[in-house]
C-alpha cells in the first residue's frame, strides 16, 4: 500500500474538481445541446449557459430550437431562462427541474446558420400519415371545368381508342384466347389420345371368353382384365383432368370478358375527369371551398401532437429492447430496466411561458401560459403533460388553448382544445385556383371551437367556425358566364358562414368531412346551371364508349367461342371413347368373375355328390 | 518517442526493481481499465486502486495502452456479450433492476452493453492475465531475455536508427 498515493489522489481529485468547476458551464452546455439536437434531429443551441453549484440553479440567455422541416428557421427561440434543479435525483443521474420561467418565446424566427444535422432518416410519424391522407382526399375531389361544358365536345381527342382500358383489356383477352387455344391444340396433338385408346381397344377385343374352360384359364384372364382396367382407368383420369384444366382456362377468359364492363366504367370516369365533368356531390362542396386551409390547420395541430409523441415516450417505447446491430465503437446500447424509484430521467415540473409568433408585436400572436410535467419518462412521472395558454393578438380576444399529452400507459392519449369568441379573423387564403371558387375570405369577427382527441392512431377531431360579415374574393375575373353567375348568386349574397370540419378514423385512413351553410346553395346552383350540359356531355361520352365496348366484346366473344368449341369437342370425344372402353372392360371382368363363381359352384357340387356316393357305399346295410 | 521510453522503462522493470507479483498486478489492473470505455466511474475507481496498491505503474500504463487497442477490436464481441448478460440471463434481471434504481450505480453506465461486456470480459481475464504475466516475468528473469534478444525482430528494432537516436536522447545529460 502506497501511503503517498492517498495524498496524490486527493490532490488529483481536487485538481479535477477545480477543472470541472471552471469548465462545467461549457461542458454542460455542450452536453445539453448534443442531447437535444439528437432528439430534435436538427441543431439546438444554447447561449451563455451557467450552472450554479451552490444554489443548484441554471440559467441561459437564449435557446434556439431548429425546425427539422426547415433548418434555416427556428421552431422557437427563448429569451433568458432561469430554473432550479433538485439535488437528490442527481445521484440517480436524473435531472428534475423545479420551476422555470421561460420568457420571450418567439416562434418561427430566422436562423443565422443552417441548423441541419446529418442523421439517418426517421420513420414517418403521425403528421406525415395524417397530412398525406388529407392531401389525397382533397386531390380526389372532382374538378369542374364549367367552361368546357359550353363548348362542343371533341370526342376524338377525349376518347383515345388505343389508350382505353377496355380496348387494352380486349386485346389481352384476344391474346389469352389465342394462346390458350394453341396450348390445348398442342396438347391434343402430342398427347395422341386416339392411338392410346386404340391400343387399349385392341387389347379389350382380344379377350375371348368363349374359349376359356378351366378355373385356371379364368383366373389368369381375370388378372389380365384387372390390369387392363387399371390402364384404362388411368388414361380416363388423365383425360378427365386435362378436360377440367381446359374448362378452367376457358372459364378464366369468360371472367375477363365479363370484366370488360368494369373497364368500360373506368374509361367513362377517366373521360369525365379529363373533361372536368366528374360527378358533383353536395358533400364535396365544403372540401372544395375550405379543404386546403382547414386540412392544413388540422395537419398543423397534428404536427404538435407528433412532437409530443416523439418527446414524451410511452412505457412501451421506453421498455423496448430490440438489439441494435453493430452500434458505433465504444457506444454500445443502453438497456432500460423497470423503474421502481420514481424519478424520471428528465422532468420539468412547472414552467411559466410567454412569447409571440414574431418580434413585431402589432402583427404577432402573443402567447402566455403554463406547462406542467414535461418529462422524458411519462409512465414514471404518472401524470400527463399539460399545456394551458392564451394566444391573442393586439386588439383581439384571446384563443384559449389547452393540451394534454397522456403517455403514462402503453397507448398514448392526446387531447387538444382551442376556443375563442369574437376574435378578429381578417383575411384567409383559401388556396383555390378555379375561377368559380373564391381565392380568399375576408371576414370581420368570429367564434371558433376546436377539439382533437387521439388515442394511439385513432383520431377524432372537430372544428366549428361561425363567422360574421363574410366577403369572398376571387382571384381572376370570371372567364365564363357560369362562373360569373355562381359568384353573383352564391357567394356575394352570403353574410354569415357556419363551418364544421371533422376528421375521424386511423391517421392513415381518415374520414375527412367539411360542411357549411354554403353547401346546399352552391350545389343546387351549380347543378341548376350545368345540369343540361352535364347530361349532354356524359351521354356523348357514354355513347362513344358503348360503341367501342360492343365492338370489342363481340370480337373476343367470337374468338373465345371458336377456340373453346374446338378444344372441348376434341377432349369430350376422347372422354366418351375412353368411358366406353372402360365400360366394356368392366363388363368383361364381371363376366369372368361370374364364370369363375359358376365353375366353383359346379366343382363344389360334383365333389359333394362324389363324397355322398362314397359315404352311401360305406354305410350300406349288409344283407 | 513517449511510447519507446515507456517500453524501455517497462523492460527495465521486467529485469529488476519490482517483484513479479507487483508487475503482474499492475498489468492485470491496467488491462481491466484498458478493456473498459475510458471515461467511466469504475475506471476512476480502478485507477485509485492502482495508485493505492503497491503494484507497478509502468506495467499498468502499458497494459492500458495495449488492451485499449484490443478492446477497440473486440468491441462488437463486448456488445454481444453485454447484451446477453443484461437481457439474456433471467436470474440477473432482479439485480440489474435493483442497481438501475439505486443512487450512484447508474453513473457507472452498467446498463450499457459495451460497458457491461468489456467489464465482464476484463474480470474473466483478470486472473489469467495476472498469473500469465507473473510466470512471464519469472521466465524473463531466468533467461528468456537472452533468447528474446536473439530474435530477429528485436535485433532489427534495437539496430534501427530510431532506437539509436532514442538511446542518445535518453542518455543525454540535461
Predicted confidence at residue A420, as pLDDT, reads 85
Residues of A in contact with B114 (CB under 8 A): 327, 330-333
Q: Is A79 left (phi over 0), alpha (psi -120 to 50) or beta?
A: beta
Contact between A9 and B48 using a beta-carbon 8 Å cutoff: yes
Contact between B100 and A5 using a beta-carbon 8 Å cutoff: no
**Residue B126 burial (10 A CB sphere; 0-12, 13-18, 19+):** middle
For residue B100, give the C-alpha cell: 438501475
Same-domain check for residues A344 and A406: yes
Start-to-end CA distance of chain B, whole Å, equals 17
Rounded Cα gap, residues A604 and A622, in angstroms: 31
Rounded Cα gap, residues A225 and B135, in angstroms: 92
- Domain assignment of residue A335, yes or no: no
Predicted confidence at residue A47, as pLDDT, reads 93
Q: Torsion angle of alpha carbons B2, B5, B9, B14, nearest 10°? A: 100
Contact between A333 and B96 using a beta-carbon 8 Å cutoff: no
Q: What is the pLDDT of residues A394-427, one digit of tens each?
A: 766 778 889 998 888 778 888 889 888 877 777 7
pLDDT higher than threshold 60 for residue A318: no
Q: What is the pLDDT of residues A72-117, one digit of tens each?
A: 999 889 989 988 888 888 877 778 888 888 888 888 888 999 989 8
Q: What is the pLDDT of residues B141-170, one digit of tens each?
A: 787 777 777 788 888 887 888 777 777 766
Contact between A321 and B87 using a beta-carbon 8 Å cutoff: yes
Mean pLDDT of B47-64: 87
Rounded Cα gap, residues A289 and A144, in angstroms: 13
Question: Which of A363, A387, A410 marks a domain boundary?
Answer: A410
- Domain assignment of residue A321, yes or no: no
Out of A52-66, A250-264, A580-594, B160-174, pick the least confident: B160-174
Q: Which of B51, B78, B79 sits opposite A9 (nearest CB)?
A: B51
Same-domain check for residues A205 and A292: yes
Mean pLDDT of B77-89: 92
Beta bridge partners of A81: A60, A102
Predicted confidence at residue B47, as pLDDT, reads 87
Q: Is-contact A448 A463, C-beta < 8 A?
A: yes
Same-domain check for residues A242 and A185: yes
- Rounded (5°) CA angle A209-A213-A217: 75
Q: What is the pLDDT of residues A224-269, one digit of tens each?
A: 888 888 888 888 898 899 989 999 999 999 999 888 888 888 888 8
Interface size between A and B, measured as CB pairs under 8 A: 76
Look at the block and give the residue holding cell 344283407.
A623
- Domain assignment of residue A507, yes or no: yes
Domain ranges for chain B:
2-9+18-142
Interfacial A residues in 352-381 facing B (CB < 8 Å): none
- At B80, is the pLDDT very low, low, confident or very high (cuts 50, 70, 90)? very high
- Domain assignment of residue A332, yes or no: no
CA distance B51 to chain A (A): 6
* CA A590 to chain centroid: 66
- Helix segments in A481-518, DSSP class H: 481-486
Predicted confidence at residue B112, as pLDDT, reads 92
Same-domain check for residues A378 and A451: no
Q: What is the pLDDT of residues A103-157, one digit of tens each?
A: 888 888 889 999 898 876 666 666 677 777 777 777 766 666 666 555 666 666 6
Contact between B111 and A334 using a beta-carbon 8 Å cutoff: yes
Rounded Cα gap, residues A432 and A295, in angstroms: 13
Reported ipTM exceeds the 0.90 cut: no
Rounded Cα gap, residues A590 and A288, in angstroms: 82
Maximal CA-CA distance, chain B: 63
CA distance B174 to chain A (A): 27
Q: Is A54 an interface residue toward B (CB < 8 Å)?
A: no
Q: Which of A8, A92, A323 sits opposite B51 (nearest CB)?
A: A8
Out of A256-270, A314-328, A514-528, pick the least confident: A314-328
Q: Strand ranges (DSSP E) for A24-118?
A: 44-47, 50-52, 57-60, 62-67, 70-78, 81-85, 95-107
Q: Is A17 an interface residue toward B (CB < 8 Å)?
A: no
Residues of B in contact with A337 (CB under 8 A): 93, 96-97, 100-101, 111
- DSSP annotation of A144 reads B
Percentage of chain A lying above the pLDDT 90 cut: 6
Mean pLDDT of B83-110: 88
Q: Which residues contact B48 (CB under 8 A, 6 or more apart)?
A: A9
Contact between A1 and B51 using a beta-carbon 8 Å cutoff: no
Best mutation target, B40, B83, B85, B99, to test chain A (most A CBs within 10 A): B83
Rounded Cα gap, residues A106 and A79, in angstroms: 8
Look at the block and give the residue holding cell 447484451.
B83
Q: What is the pLDDT of residues B115-124, one digit of tens each?
A: 999 999 999 9
Q: Torsion angle of alpha carbons A91, A95, A100, A103, nearest 10°? A: 140
Parallel, antiparallel or unpaired: strands A509-516 and A385-392 = unpaired
- pTM to 2 decimal places: 0.53
Mean pLDDT of chain A: 81
Contact between A337 and B93 using a beta-carbon 8 Å cutoff: yes
Question: Which of A369, A387, A410 marks a domain boundary?
Answer: A410
Same-domain check for residues A59 and A170: no
Nearest to A443 by CA among A464, A428, A429: A428
pLDDT higher than threshold 90 for residue A222: no
Mean pLDDT of A441-464: 85
What's the domain count of chain A? Answer: 2
Q: Is residue B9 within a helix (H) or strand (E), and if so which, with residue range?
A: helix B2-15
Q: Which residues contact A455 (CB under 8 A, 6 or more apart)?
A: A411, A412, A413
Range of the domain at A36: 1-119+340-410
Q: How many Cβ atoms from other residues are within 10 Å of residue A203's Cβ?
A: 17
Q: What is the pLDDT of residues A481-492, one digit of tens each?
A: 777 777 777 777
- Domain assignment of residue A184, yes or no: yes
Nearest to A275 by CA among A137, A163, A153: A153
Q: What is the pLDDT of residues A562-571, one digit of tens each?
A: 988 988 998 8
Q: Would you say how long chain A is, in residues?
A: 623
Q: What value does the CA radius of gyration of chain B take, rounded to a whole number of Å?
A: 19
Look at the block and give the residue holding cell 458551464.
A25
Predicted confidence at residue A372, as pLDDT, reads 92
Question: Which of A384, A410, A436 marks a domain boundary?
Answer: A410
Predicted confidence at residue A370, as pLDDT, reads 92
Q: Is B82 an interface residue toward A (CB < 8 Å)?
A: yes
Contact between A9 and B52 using a beta-carbon 8 Å cutoff: yes
Q: Would you say how long chain B is, in residues?
A: 174
Same-domain check for residues A101 and A168: no
Contact between A2 and B78 using a beta-carbon 8 Å cutoff: no
- At A311, is the pLDDT very low, low, confident or very high (cuts 50, 70, 90)? low
Contact between B111 and A92 using a beta-carbon 8 Å cutoff: no
Out of A370-384, B7-21, B77-91, pick the least confident: B7-21
Q: What is the pLDDT of residues A594-607, one digit of tens each?
A: 888 888 888 888 88
- At A478, is the pLDDT very low, low, confident or very high (cuts 50, 70, 90)? low
Q: Which residues contact A67 (CB under 8 A, 6 or more apart)?
A: A42, A73, A74, A75, A108, A115
Predicted confidence at residue A331, as pLDDT, reads 83
- Domain assignment of residue A470, yes or no: yes
Amino acid at each position: 500500500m502506497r501511503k503517498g498515493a492517498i495524498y496524490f489522489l486527493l490532490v488529483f481529485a481536487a485538481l479535477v474538481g477545480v477543472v470541472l468547476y471552471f469548465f462545467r458551464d461549457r461542458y454542460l452546455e455542450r452536453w445539453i445541446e448534443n442531447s437535444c439536437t439528437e432528439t430534435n434531429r436538427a441543431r439546438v443551441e444554447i447561449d451563455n449557459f451557467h450552472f450554479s453549484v451552490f444554489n443548484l440553479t441554471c440559467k441561459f440567455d437564449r435557446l434556439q430550437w431548429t425546425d427539422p422541416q426547415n433548418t434555416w428557421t427556428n421552431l422557437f427561440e427563448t429569451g433568458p431562462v432561469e430554473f432550479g434543479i433538485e439535488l437528490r435525483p442527481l445521484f440517480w443521474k436524473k435531472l428534475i427541474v423545479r420551476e422555470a420561467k421561460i420568457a420571450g418565446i418567439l416562434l418561427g424566427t430566422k436562423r443565422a446558420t443552417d441548423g441541419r444535422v446529418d442523421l439517418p432518416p426517421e420513420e414517418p410519424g403521425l403528421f406525415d400519415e395524417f397530412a398525406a391522407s388529407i392531401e389525397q382526399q382533397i386531390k380526389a375531389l372532382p374538378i369542374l371545368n364549367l367552361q368546357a361544358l359550353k363548348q362542343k365536345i371533341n370526342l376524338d381527342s377525349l376518347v383515345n381508342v388505343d389508350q382505353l382500358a377496355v380496348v387494352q383489356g380486349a386485346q389481352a383477352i384476344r391474346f389469352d384466347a389465342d394462346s390458350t387455344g394453341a396450348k390445348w391444340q398442342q396438347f391434343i396433338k402430342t398427347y395422341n389420345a386416339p392411338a392410346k385408346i386404340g391400343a387399349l381397344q385392341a387389347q379389350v377385343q382380344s379377350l375371348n371368353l368363349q374359349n376359356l374352360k378351366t378355373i385356371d384359364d379364368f383366373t389368369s384372364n381375370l388378372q389380365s382384365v384387372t390390369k387392363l382396367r387399371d390402364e384404362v382407368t388411368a388414361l380416363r383420369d388423365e383425360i378427365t383432368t386435362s378436360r377440367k384444366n381446359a374448362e378452367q382456362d376457358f372459364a378464366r377468359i369468360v371472367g375477363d370478358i365479363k370484366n370488360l364492363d368494369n373497364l368500360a366504367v373506368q374509361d367513362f370516369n377517366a373521360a369525365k375527369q379529363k373533361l372536368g365533368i366528374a360527378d358533383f356531390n353536395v358533400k364535396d362542396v365544403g372540401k372544395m371551398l375550405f379543404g386546403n386551409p382547414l386540412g392544413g390547420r388540422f395537419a398543423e395541430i397534428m404536427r404538435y401532437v407528433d412532437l409530443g409523441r416523439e418527446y414524451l415516450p410511452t412505457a412501451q417505447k421506453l421498455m423496448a429492447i430490440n438489439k441494435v446491430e453493430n452500434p458505433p465503437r465504444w457506444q454500445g446500447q443502453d438497456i432500460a430496466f423497470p423503474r421502481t424509484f420514481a424519478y424520471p430521467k428528465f422532468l420539468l415540473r412547472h414552467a411559466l411561458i410567454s412569447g409571440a409568433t414574431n418580434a413585431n408585436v402589432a402583427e404577432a400572436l402573443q402567447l402566455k401560459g403554463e406547462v406542467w410535467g414535461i418529462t422524458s419518462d411519462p409512465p414514471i412521472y404518472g401524470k400527463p403533460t399539460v399545456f394551458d395558454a392564451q394566444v391573442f393578438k393586439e386588439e383581439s380576444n384571446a384563443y384559449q388553448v389547452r393540451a394534454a399529452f397522456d403517455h403514462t400507459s402503453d397507448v398514448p392519449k392526446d387531447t387538444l382544445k382551442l376556443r375563442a369568441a369574437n376574435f378578429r379573423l381578417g383575411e384567409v387564403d383559401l388556396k383555390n385556383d378555379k375561377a368559380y371558387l373564391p381565392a380568399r375570405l375576408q371576414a370581420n369577427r368570429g367564434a371558433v371551437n376546436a377539439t382533437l382527441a387521439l388515442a394511439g392512431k385513432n383520431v377524432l377531431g372537430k372544428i366549428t367556425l361561425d363567422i360574421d360579415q363574410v366577403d369572398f374574393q376571387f382571384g381572376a375575373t370570371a372567364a365564363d358566364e357560369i362562373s360569373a353567375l355562381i359568384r353573383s348568386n352564391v357567394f356575394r349574397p352570403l353574410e354569415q358562414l357556419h363551418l364544421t370540419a371533422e376528421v375521424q378514423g386511423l391517421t392513415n385512413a381518415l374520414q375527412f368531412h367539411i360542411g357549411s351553410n354554403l353547401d346546399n346553395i352552391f350545389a343546387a346552383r351549380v347543378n341548376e346551371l350545368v345540369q343540361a350540359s352535364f347530361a349532354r356531355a356524359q351521354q356523348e361520352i357514354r355513347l362513344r364508349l358503348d360503341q367501342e365496348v360492343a365492338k370489342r366484346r363481340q370480337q373476343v366473344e367470337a374468338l373465345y367461342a371458336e377456340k373453346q368449341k374446338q378444344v372441348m369437342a376434341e377432349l369430350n370425344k376422347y372422354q366418351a371413347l375412353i368411358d366406353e372402353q372402360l365400360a366394356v372392360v368392366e363388363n368383361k371382368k364381371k363376366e369372368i368373375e361370374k364364370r369363375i363363381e359358376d365353375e366353383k359352384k359346379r366343382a363344389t357340387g360334383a365333389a359333394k355328390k362324389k363324397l355322398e356316393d362314397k359315404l352311401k357305399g360305406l354305410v350300406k346295410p349288409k344283407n | 518517442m513517449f511510447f519507446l521510453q515507456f517500453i524501455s522503462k517497462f523492460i527495465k522493470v521486467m529485469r529488476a526493481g519490482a517483484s513479479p507479483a507487483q508487475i503482474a498486478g499492475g498489468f492485470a489492473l491496467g488491462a481491466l481499465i484498458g478493456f473498459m470505455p475510458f471515461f467511466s466511474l469504475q475506471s476512476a475507481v480502478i485507477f485509485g486502486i492502482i495508485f493505492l496498491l503497491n503494484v507497478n505503474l509502468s506495467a499498468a500504463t502499458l497494459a492500458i495502452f495495449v488492451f485499449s487497442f484490443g478492446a477497440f477490436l473486440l468491441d462488437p464481441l463486448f456488445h454481444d456479450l453485454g447484451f446477453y448478460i443484461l437481457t439474456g440471463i433471467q436470474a440477473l434481471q432482479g439485480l440489474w433492476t435493483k442497481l438501475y434504481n439505486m443512487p450512484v450505480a447508474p453513473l457507472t453506465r452498467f446498463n450499457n452493453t459495451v460497458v457491461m461486456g468489456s467489464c465482464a470480459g476484463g474480470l474473466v481475464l483478470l486472473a489469467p492475465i495476472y498469473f500469465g504475466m507473473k510466470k512471464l516475468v519469472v521466465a524473463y528473469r531466468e533467461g528468456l531475455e537472452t533468447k528474446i534478444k536473439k530474435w530477429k525482430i528485436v535485433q532489427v528494432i534495437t539496430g534501427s536508427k530510431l532506437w539509436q537516436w532514442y538511446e542518445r536522447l535518453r542518455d543525454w545529460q540535461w
